[in-house]
Amino acid sequence: MVSARPVSVQEKYIEQFKFLAISEMDRSGIPASIKMAQGLLESMAGRSELAIQANNHFGIKCKNNWNGETYQYEDDDYNASGQLIASCFRSYSSAIDSYKDHSDFLMNRPRYKELFSLSKTDYTSWAYGLKRCGYATDPNYAERLIRTIQKYNLDLLDYKTELKEELIVETPKREIHTMESLQNKMIKPIFVSNPVKKSIPAKTIKGVQKKKRKSRI
């Protein structure tokens, strides 16, 4: 008997947030594949300090117009003496808020305006466009996004629609009704999935991390 292949943390992350990415694609026009790839890279599939402590899945810094909670994290900012100092990052009450703010962040900044003339199914142009517009300092950022999309077939998400803006998860199957068997006229149960809404717990903590990351806004 062949044992099932273990599910990776990246695959678990995709299953957890793919419907939210599709919903945000419907709202904003940002390809779900791009949002998922950015979330995977920027949050280390939900395992980065920013994701855990501040629910920040896209590495978005505070900027001048941010009035919400903040989280201090040493990233790529230096003082006049060349010493690495803590940067101000946005902190959210939930990962859902982070995903929505990522959409708003791109939609409301003129430097990203050109991206929204691109097709939602053209993830390659979106990837290079994000790099060209200055989303990250990593020179290989576009290529990393594209490789991630292709590795996990995230481009398939760009052809789906999801009207709900809340995360949908599958619950264990349960018997809900019966139908008559066409073969032996016996009554057999039908099992179907029962989707329910699941909110991500709010978590806002402040702190400082000494580790430096390569790509950032």
Structural domain includes residue 203: no
Structural domain includes residue 37: yes
Q: Count the domains in the chain.
A: 1
Structural domain includes residue 191: yes
pLDDT at 1: 62
62, 92 Cβ separation under 8 angstroms? no
pLDDT at 2: 64
Q: Which pTM does this prediction carry?
A: 0.73
pLDDT at 107: 98
Question: Which pLDDT tens digit goes with each residue over 34-49?
Answer: 999 999 999 999 999 9
Residue 133 token pair = 């517009």
Q: Which residue has the tokens 């430097």?
A: 111
Residue 149, number of CB atoms within 10 A of its CB: 24
Structural domain includes residue 74: yes
Residue 160 token pair = 């789906």
Task: Tell whether the model's pLDDT for residue 19 goes beyond 90.
Answer: yes
Structural domain includes residue 121: yes
CATH number at residue 83: 1.10.530.10
Domain coverage including residue 59:
9-197
Structural domain includes residue 204: no
